[in-house]
Structure 1
Amino acid sequence: MTLPPDGLPPNPNPRKPAFSLPAGACDSHCHIYGPFARFPLPADRSFNPHEVPETALRAVHDRLGFARAVIVQSQGHGFDHGPVLAALRDHPGRYRAVALIRRTDSEETIAAFDAAGFCGVRFSFLPHLGGEPDLDLVREVIAKVKPFGWHVAIHVAGHDIVRHAPFIRSIDATVVVDHMARPPVAEGADGPATTMLRSLIDKGNIWAKISGADRLSKEGPPYRDAISIAASLVRHAPERIVWGSDWPHVNLHGPMPDDGELVDLLAQVVPDEAVRHRILVDNPKELFGFP
């Protein structure tokens, strides 16, 4: 039986941003699903996504002005990385990727992923994505990918960034905290979660993605209540910040964001054009190893 998708499909016609993105701009966090006739959804998925394959992602990026992207393997496809591997193979240089790796995955599997263009491994601590993982198993996987120089993506929410700060500090690799650690937006830029994230960034090997403003916001579009949190991270360490759309915004049940509006929000978060260039072009090239 085919189950209905969780949440809504992405906005099919995002507006063009009000400003032109720099050449080589990178969307550092997005996902793809399908086509399901070629890549059926596996039984071990944690939710049911809409069918939005690489062709749909590329059309959105071409409209918005992104030349590069980092595709994050989603638990909607479980551990079947087929769609992402195909995107990497068919568009070399345009995409890099982040994998989901198990302790049972062989060194040969990880080496093949690395050769294809994967450059990171992700761990989610959110209940609807499987809950908090066993940290000993996480450490085993980090040790597996360490010889390949991959970064470690951490997906936490609320005050979990505070609770897991000792573990995050202990990671002997480059760390990327997804979606600004999804802090409670009402606490603002000086709340415990964002204050801790800035402290972690000070360690030197820890980065943050200013993405997911639509998930943080309580006001809704144009998400101005999330600006102060993102802007505080940019002011604190612009050299370790990247931006992501989070397209196609899975598991959202309210109005879907307009991705052009999310890009325009970046101009408010980062009004300085040179700093935007760093966040959209220079930093992703360094962090993800684009050619």
Structure 2
Amino acid sequence: MSDISANSRPLSGLPPALKAPPGATDCHIHLYPPGYVAQPGGPSIPELATVEDYRKLQQWLQLDRVVVTQPNAYQQNNAALLESLGQLGAETARGVAVVTPHTPRSELEGLHASGVRGARIMNFPGGAVTSTEMPFIEPLIREMEWHMMVQFNGRQLCEHLEALRGLKVDYIIDHIGKFIDPVSADDNRVDEILRLLDRGNAWFKICAGYETSLIGGPDYPDVGAIARRVVEHAPDRVIWGSNWPHVGVPRDQYPNDAEQLDVLLEWASPPVQQKILVDNPARLYGFSSP
């Protein structure tokens, strides 16, 4: 039995205005199943978020596929992630795990067999592995044909540019670049993101605009201006994630999950929504055609 409270977040509500196409993929969630506790160095777990809970959210938003990201709470222990992927099933779920420079090949092979296709790089407090370790991790995951999911404060992009340009594997610039605070869409750092995307191995994830927007929802126009510019420039390199269960903000700032999907109505045309929700994630994560 877990002493962590059961989920109390809403798992249903008014349907999103955007009708998700078949094969729509949520490329960023976290799961907190019972029986697993936070590890030293990571944040606490406020309440559970189980596969059963998420399936209800999937039904609400009419999403078919999902990518589960290793939470900071579990640090380098991927056991909860693997259990969750086992419950979700390989046909519709993939994972992003924590990999260190010392992760043995046998462990990587086990992660791959469970559906893991990426390594998480987190440059905020509580992150288990940061960008300083990317050069040592890249050779390990290159053999597995995985990508890196990289999160940092976009205002500090210049500090990461050299390392990102040096990557040979695919990588995701996470959380709309996570500019704290948002910059204008014509900022030189947004220019640099477009140049990275043009190199052919960078991806951009629309996710969690509520974490950085100073204006707020439902459209997050300050963050949305950045997203729209990237989507217009590189529609074949953009994916979307809900960031459920939104543990990065206090409960009184909890976003509406349907609105997190509906931002795509403002930020992308219907043909590009199909790319962002279905085609691009299928290419990056190896999902079959819906």
TM-score, normalised by the number of residues in structure 1:
0.90
How far did 1:115 drift?
1.0
How far did 1:54 drift?
1.5
In the alignment, structure 2 segments of 5+ residues that lack a partner are none
> 2:194 corresponds to which letter in structure 1?
R
How far did 1:83 drift?
2.5
Q: Which residue in 2 is equivalent to 1:218?
A: 214
Q: Which residue in 2 is equivalent to 1:172?
A: 168
Distance 1:185 1:43, change over 3 A: closer
The partner residue of 1:126 within 124, 127, 146 is: 124
Question: How many residue pairs end up in the alignment?
Answer: 283
When the two chains are superposed, the root-mean-square deviation of aligned CA atoms in Å is: 2.2
Q: How does 1:35-114 map to 2 (within 5 A)?
A: 35=34, 38-90=35-87, 91-114=89-112
Q: Which residue in 2 is equivalent to 1:283?
A: 280
Q: Distance in 1 between matches of 2:149 and 2:131?
A: 16
Q: Which residue in 2 is equivalent to 1:33?
A: 32
How far did 1:186 drift?
4.3
The structure, 1 or 2, with the larger RCO (C-alpha pairs under 8 Å, 6+ apart) is 1
Q: Distance in 1 between matches of 2:27 and 2:131?
A: 27
**What's the secondary structure of 1:187's corresponding residue?**
coil
Question: 1:111-157 CA distances to partner (integer Å, 9 max, x unpaired)?
Answer: 10011110010111113436x8362x321111111111000111111
**What's the secondary structure of 1:154's corresponding residue?**
strand
Moved more, 71-80 or 257-266: 71-80
The partner residue of 2:200 within 199, 204, 223 is: 204
The partner residue of 2:190 within 194, 200, 222 is: 194
Q: Percent identity?
A: 27
Moved more, 185-194 or 222-231: 185-194
**What's the secondary structure of 2:253's corresponding residue?**
coil
How far did 1:12 drift?
4.2
How far did 1:59 drift?
1.0
> 1:221 corresponds to which letter in structure 2?
G
The partner residue of 2:257 within 253, 256, 259 is: 259
Moved more, 64-73 or 183-192: 183-192
Q: Distance in 2 between matches of 1:255 and 1:153?
A: 25
Q: Which residue in 2 is equivalent to 1:241?
A: 238
How far did 1:92 drift?
2.3
> 1:206 corresponds to which letter in structure 2?
A
TM-score, normalised by the number of residues in structure 2:
0.90
> 2:258 corresponds to which letter in structure 1?
G
Question: 1:18-73 CA distances to partner (integer Å, 9 max, x unpaired)?
Answer: 121000100111110122xx333334533434211111111101110110011011
Is 2:215–2:222's contact at 8 Å kept on the other side of the alignment? yes
**What's the secondary structure of 2:247's corresponding residue?**
coil
Q: Distance in 2 between matches of 1:209 and 1:242?
A: 5
Q: Distance in 1 between matches of 2:204 and 2:263?
A: 17
Moved more, 155-164 or 45-54: 45-54
Q: Which residue in 2 is equivalent to 1:23?
A: 22
**What's the secondary structure of 2:130's corresponding residue?**
coil
